[in-house]
Amino acid sequence: MGNTTEILDKRIFLGKNAEMHQVGKMILRNRVLEVSNEASIAISEITILPGEKLDLGTNFPSLQLIIPVVGELKLESGLFVETGEVWSKFIPKKMSLSLENPFDKDPVHFIRIEVPTRNFYSERTFDFELEEIANKVFTIAEFKNGDESFRLSLGNLQGRTDVEHQSYGPSFSMAVTGVFEFENCLLEQGDALSINQSGILEMEALTTEAMILILEYKNLNL
């Protein structure tokens, strides 16, 4: 299974098997979940070095989500996206997404999510406050087109906090920081877990601060 481990309807993506590595102007780590023979959902942690620009390609039509974790990004349009924001845009097959680190000395770290779809979604920016996600899982972005829908949620939990989250479809979750017991699986920083059905997701933070990212999806138009 490479860098994954299967447990019944769950699939664990271990961060230690997908080490951060440098590719040109960026440092990245990918988790890729196949949802068909031709398409995959990908969650990537990416660091852009100071003053550098990136052109991130796509292999299939997809909704692209950008979530800055440290610093801010400059888009090709001139728009800036900063911590506390989620930027999204539909990108056709074999098109690229251009991003720039506007800082001369500091790297920028962000999460990129690629959700395969043939449905068009307008460019949007969502805002959220860290206080909104304290000790709970909070929806920070939501999309719907016909029967297809996606929901992106984030939780920032204090140590030993128990939380339940009702998912409406299959989910792909990642421990952004800290350590969790998530659906009876131990998730350390960088680990991800996919679950192929809806249901209540149970989690407990095992470190002083722990942040979890949850992507839910339903009826992908592939």
103 pLDDT exceeds 90?
Answer: yes
Q: pLDDT-derived band of residue 1, with 50, 70 and 90 as boundaries?
A: very low
Same domain, 111 and 206: no
Same domain, 99 and 147: no
CATH number, residue 18: 2.60.120.10
Instruction: Tell me what the mean pLDDT of segment 117-141 comes to.
Output: 93
Q: What is the pLDDT of residue 4?
A: 58
Final residue in a domain of this structure, among 77, 96, 125: 125
Q: Count of domains in the chain? A: 2
CA angle 132–183–111, rounded 5-degree value: 50
Same domain, 67 and 84: yes
Two structure tokens written together for 145: 């087109």
Task: Please answer whether residues 194 and 170 qualify as being in contact, where contact means their C-beta atoms are separated by less than 8 angstroms.
Answer: yes
For 171-192, b where at least 16 C-beta lie within 10 A, e where not — what string? bbbbbbebbbebbebebebbbb
pTM of the model: 0.92
Q: What is the pLDDT of residue 65?
A: 98
Closest to 172 in 3D by CA, of 19, 1, 30, 26: 30
Going from the C-alpha of 53 to that of each of 72, 85, 108, 113, the distances in angstroms are 13, 20, 11, 18
Q: pLDDT-derived band of residue 105, with 50, 70 and 90 as boundaries?
A: very high
pLDDT in tens, 147-168: 999 999 999 998 888 999 999 9
First to last CA, the chain: 24
> Range of 158's domain?
129-218
Final residue in a domain of this structure, among 97, 125, 153: 125
pLDDT in tens, 14-55: 988 888 888 888 899 999 999 988 899 999 999 999 999 999
Final residue in a domain of this structure, among 74, 90, 125: 125
E strand spans, 52-198: 53-57, 62-70, 72-75, 80-82, 85-91, 96-100, 108-116, 124-127, 137-145, 148-158, 162-167, 171-177, 180-182, 185-187, 192-195
Same domain, 119 and 133: no
